[in-house]
Structure 1
Amino acid sequence: MQQVVTEQPAGEELSLAERAYRAIRDRLIMLEIRPGAPINEDQLAQSLAVGRTPVREALKRLQYERLITTYPRRGTFATEVNITDLAHISEVRQELEPLAAAQAARRATATDRAMLTALRRELESADSGRQDATELMRLDLQVHRAIYTTTHNPYLEDTLVRHDNLATRIWCLFVDRLSNMAGHVEEHGPLIEAIVAGEPDKAAQLARSHVVGFERAIRDAI
């Protein structure tokens, strides 16, 4: 099973709980674990080749992030995707995504710029139409997470990762109805270029337009 590229810094050794968290998180985001589906600790532990303790630790975090929910005497389930949450999520992202883009443009190191430039090259392959919807969504997640990391503000990064995860679940739910997914993902190209060039105002404007366009595309698809 292909995994979304995560936020692991080069050389960092991940704990078993962190590995389990990131793997289960991305399965939930990409709807590989369907909304409303029961969460089976034993099956997850077996599929990830870890013990139940790391899985339990991961599930505690995922419940806080609204990706799973636990009901007394019923068990634990993947959170349903509720389209009414879209407005609330977009409200947060419209304020914080431009801030993150601007701060990334101000604070990007040489290493950050090299990472973002490499992602820009990956976006060019999306232009050719060779990638399917799932690959495009994985690339979209990867770009967002890279920009958040480049802010060098762990609190801002954590908040935006959680909200982008929830937004991506909504996107996955309506992916079959979206007519221009490639175009949505390609919008990241100019945004990355503005960050690499150190243009915070332009980066902020592009980030806000991207979030607004995402919400409009989902609403048009409903």
Structure 2
Amino acid sequence: MAQAASKPTVDITARPADLDGLSYADYATNVLRDRLIILDIPPGTPINDELIGKELGIGRTPVREAIKRLESEHLVSVYPRRGTFASVVDITDLAEIAEIRAQLEPLAASRAARFASADQRAKMRELATSLESADMATTDYAGLMRYDLGVHRSIYAANGNKHLQETLITYDNLATRIWCMVIDRLPNVGSHIDEHVGLLLGIADGDAEKASDLAREHVLSFERLVRSVI
């Protein structure tokens, strides 16, 4: 299946001088996770911890710790005596992932509408304004993915339940990998991103019921959009 065109490239040659308080393992996890999600590391690609450590300017131990974390997130697969590989993206997983997200995304949006801090609500309004002013028709795939991931991460962080946040990040990552597999064939992706505006404003306004309904419809529309090209 064709992979997404014009995928953003994460700079894994950056030295760990800009860790911003992260441990080496956290740093390696974040870099590798981003590359795996956007398919900058294509599915099935071997992952060599020694080479990655050299590229990141860190040792193999934190890279191995990162790989363990990413295996638990289903982004890498480890096979005894064979090695570690970027997990295959299975389009048939779409229905199961969408089923889970259709239950949990509305819950997170509803909780965020009730429990978000004043600062989080202000940032959601800023993000909504940014989305409204952006020209989605001319935004490249990298930009669209940044918007989408940014919106979902902000909602998850504001929901007040760290376990729900971690679970949703995992499933949103898997959904994003599926999206990246077909994004170059999807019609009108920009309108899907535009759906975030009402969701963000609903949360910022504290309207839990509206936020829940919009989150559910957003997940279902994503599934419909992907199914339109598979």
Which residue number corresponds to residue 220 of structure 2? Answer: 212
State whether structure 2 residue 67 is matched by structure 1 residue 59. Answer: yes
Paired with 2:142 and 2:193, the residues of 1 have a C-alpha distance of: 12
State whether structure 2 residue 14 is matched by structure 1 residue 27. Answer: no
Which residue number corresponds to residue 100 of structure 1? Answer: 108
Which residue number corresponds to residue 163 of structure 1? Answer: 171
Which residue number corresponds to residue 112 of structure 1? Answer: 120
Which residue number corresponds to residue 147 of structure 1? Answer: 155
Root-mean-square deviation (CA, aligned residues, Å) is: 1.3
Name the stretch that deviates more: 46-55 or 105-114: 46-55
Q: CA deviation at 1:209?
A: 0.3
Paired with 2:173 and 2:149, the residues of 1 have a C-alpha distance of: 8
Residue of 76, 79, 95 corresponding to 1:71: 79
State whether structure 2 residue 168 is matched by structure 1 residue 189. Answer: no
Which residue number corresponds to residue 146 of structure 2? Answer: 138
Residues 48 and 126 (structure 1), Cα distance of their counterparts in 2 relative to 1, 3 Å cut? farther
Secondary structure at the counterpart of residue 70 of structure 1 = strand
Unpaired stretches in structure 2, ≥5 consecutive residues: 1-8, 12-19
Q: Percent identity?
A: 52
The one-letter code of the counterpart of 2:104 is: L
Paired with 1:68 and 1:130, the residues of 2 have a C-alpha distance of: 33
Q: CA deviation at 1:125?
A: 4.0
Q: CA deviation at 1:120?
A: 1.5
Which residue number corresponds to residue 6 of structure 1? Answer: none
Residues 119 and 49 (structure 1), Cα distance of their counterparts in 2 relative to 1, 3 Å cut? farther
Unpaired stretches in structure 1, ≥5 consecutive residues: 4-11
Paired with 1:186 and 1:48, the residues of 2 have a C-alpha distance of: 36
Residues 128 and 88 (structure 1), Cα distance of their counterparts in 2 relative to 1, 3 Å cut? closer
Q: Deviations over 1:135-156 (max 9, x none)?
A: 1012101110110000011000
User: TM-score under structure 1 normalisation?
Assistant: 0.92
Secondary structure at the counterpart of residue 228 of structure 2 = helix
Paired with 1:65 and 1:199, the residues of 2 have a C-alpha distance of: 32
Paired with 2:143 and 2:51, the residues of 1 have a C-alpha distance of: 25
Residues 18 and 140 (structure 1), Cα distance of their counterparts in 2 relative to 1, 3 Å cut? same
Q: Deviations over 1:44-78 (max 9, x none)?
A: 22222222111111000000111000112111000
Secondary structure at the counterpart of residue 50 of structure 1 = coil
Which residue number corresponds to residue 186 of structure 2? Answer: 178
Residue of 52, 77, 85 corresponding to 1:44: 52
Paired residues in the alignment total: 214
Paired with 2:207 and 2:123, the residues of 1 have a C-alpha distance of: 17
